[in-house]
Amino acid sequence: IWKRIYDKMQAVAPSSYCILEHFADNSEEVVLADYGMLLWGNLNHNYQQATMGYTTDWDLSGTVAVNRGWSQPNLIGYQESHDEERLMFQNINYGNINGSYNTKTLSTATKRMAMSAALWSMIPGPKMLWQFGELGYDFSINYCNNGTINTNCRTDPKPVKWDYYQNADRKGLYDVYAKLLNLRTSPLYTSTFTTGDITSKYSLTSAVKQLRVIDPNLSVVAFGNFDVSSQFSIITFPNGTWYNYLNPSAGSITITSGGLPINLQPGEYYVYTSKDANTAILPVTWLSFVVEKALNNVVNLQWMVTNQVNNDHYEVERSTNGVNFTNIGSVASNNTTQGSTVTYNFVDKQPISGTVYYRIKQVDKDGKYSYSIVQTITVSTNEAALWQVYPTISTNGTSTALHLKRDVGKIQVILTDVSGKIVYQVVNNTTSIGQLINIPLTNRSKGIYMLKIVTDKAQSTEKIIVQ
């Protein structure tokens, strides 16, 4: 049945992803994976054991597709999910201790989480990162609103911890994740993390876990000591010069004998690359890409970039299915001093009704190109005739407003945070054409909010971003 569903999906939307939270026997999953589907790969328990520093069940080999006998790297390996306990909660409550080395302390726990991320992220194939995992989220999956922990509270709203960014240890973990994922998503090294060769090049069962990914564009060696005591190991390297990716100031190493003898302290880890990936010149560095509806039923697109090198122009692409994109316009490059930040704008004056996908294609003078992330927006003909929310992005606490284009009678406006908590609401029993209903955002914490608009005639929900 899954093959039939997959074939239908590809007929309707070629190259679309079919992602399965399936958890069948491996004999079935290998067939689906080799057919082209992406399957969740749960290794939560093993990563818990490894990050806590316990030797039982700390084998991470299950994150490697070839370890399961799959010919395609279609395993979505993950450490945490909506159904699994948070690693940091386990670490700080149940982590291992050896003398002065204590995995329960925040400083040590976040460093071990970073080590785990280094091994996990360098394995070829898609990955799933659960929300706030990059900051070491330490509230139990069974956390209750009253502060207790109970299995009956599994689906209760959990605290949204934007303040984690202000903690040096957590921000350090975040920075490691960011750098690792920047390497994975670099268009220069896509092949490393999609088709890179890891077969017979990993050892993830013992205290010192290591892996090698070999690819013509970039090869990677990652290793770390998951024990709570120091460990001596010989790390296998192809001969040549290797660059310390996470700590470039440490310089490079030269391997001539196929291995690196090293004594690793508990929690010590490294990621080495066959090229200096920190100085590789990308045509542009994407900083942001924002899409929002504006007045007069148009869509504003704005993107911010830096490090423009050999850049020629940008093409704005639009899609109704997120797969097949069409060029709807272009913007010439403003090649200023390298390192400066440049903002570009484009207006889609004839947006398509429904869910619309936008992306920006950056084109070099030599024809090479890269893409921004894809942003989606919903344009409803009915909504456009009744009201419009503008702006949908608030900077420095500026308010947003609901612009009424018709008399809609009684209207209710509800603003909620990402946990679903109502932070503002208003009811107007009468309305008129041209009326503005202001939604104050002053003193709101930065993040994403949902604005629900309800009338007798229609209702809709808009995403509001407070920066």
d(CA 209, CA 98): 19
Predicted pLDDT of residue 383: 52
Q: What average pLDDT does the chain have?
A: 90
* Region of 260 on the Ramachandran plot (φ > 0 left; ψ -120 to 50 alpha; else beta): beta
Determine phi and psi for 284, rounding to 5 degrees: -165, 150
Q: How far is CA 84 from CA 40, 60, 131, 142, in A?
A: 13, 16, 12, 10
Which contiguous run of DSSP H or E holds residue 362? strand 354-364
Residue 433 to residue 345: CA distance in whole angstroms: 30
> pLDDT 10s per residue in the chain (467 long)?
899 999 999 888 878 899 999 888 999 999 999 999 999 999 999 999 999 999 999 999 999 999 999 999 999 999 999 999 999 999 999 999 999 999 999 999 999 999 999 999 999 999 999 989 999 999 999 999 999 999 999 999 999 998 998 999 999 999 999 999 989 988 788 899 999 999 999 999 999 999 999 999 999 999 999 999 999 999 999 999 999 999 998 999 999 988 999 999 999 999 999 999 887 656 678 888 989 877 666 788 999 988 777 788 999 999 988 888 999 999 998 876 556 788 999 999 888 777 889 999 998 887 778 888 889 887 765 555 677 787 888 876 778 887 877 777 888 899 998 888 899 999 988 888 888 888 888 888 888 888 888 887 667 778 888 88
Given a contact cutoff of 8 angstroms between Cβ atoms, the answer to whether 212 and 238 are in contact is: yes
Q: Which amino acid is at 7?
A: D
Q: What is the pTM of this model?
A: 0.69
Give first-to-last CA distance, the chain, whole Å: 45
CB-neighbour burial class of residue 258 (10 A; exposed 0-12, middle 13-18, buried 19+)? exposed
Distance CA 254, CA 242 (A): 6
Domains and CATH numbers, the chain: 2-192 (3.20.20.80), 208-273 (2.60.40), 281-379 (2.60.40.10), 381-467 (2.60.40.1930)
Q: 3-class SS at 11?
A: helix
Amino acid found at 52: M
